[in-house]
Amino acid sequence: MHNERLCKLRVKGKYNITLINAYAPTEDKTEEIKEQFYDDLQYMVDKVPKSDQIIILGDDVNAKLGKESAYQKITGKHTLHEETNRNGELFCDFAAANNMIVMSTQFQHKQIHKGTWRSPDYNTINQIDHVLVNQNK
């Protein structure tokens, strides 16, 4: 474990896989806290052998990914949200810098199956958990 927000597991086999579980700061946190999170995540990714398949499991990365054309190479076309929030921008910037794509939004699903978080009153549904994979495989 790197810190309370990041944990890494490396599975060795014919093809090595490194899994990183990430719990990002919420949208209301300061830019400094968010940037520190992504600096720490980058540090972990930089330590992974280049031959490994990297899978980042964004357990509540709090990133709402929209349908903007600027991010479609990374996010695909099947996001729940229309607009990307600030956490989504940081998430997409990180993915782009590391040649990764968001697998959780690459495939078509019914709208009712895209949500990964629901408010206690069941009135708000968000898609804020995502899976990133590197594209060099």
DSSP assignment string, 59-118: TT--------GGGHHHH-S--S-SS--HHHHHHHHHHHHTTEEEGGGSS---GGGT--EE
- What is the pLDDT, as a whole number, of residue 111? 65
Give the Cα separation of 82 and 89 in Å (integer). 13
- pLDDT one-digit tens code per residue, 73-127: 887 776 766 677 888 889 889 999 999 988 776 666 676 665 665 667 777 666 6
Model-level pTM? Answer: 0.79
Give the Cα separation of 101 and 123 in Å (integer). 30
CATH code for residues 6-134: 3.60.10.10
45, HSE (Cβ side, Cα atoms, 13 Å): 22
Strand partners, 11: 17
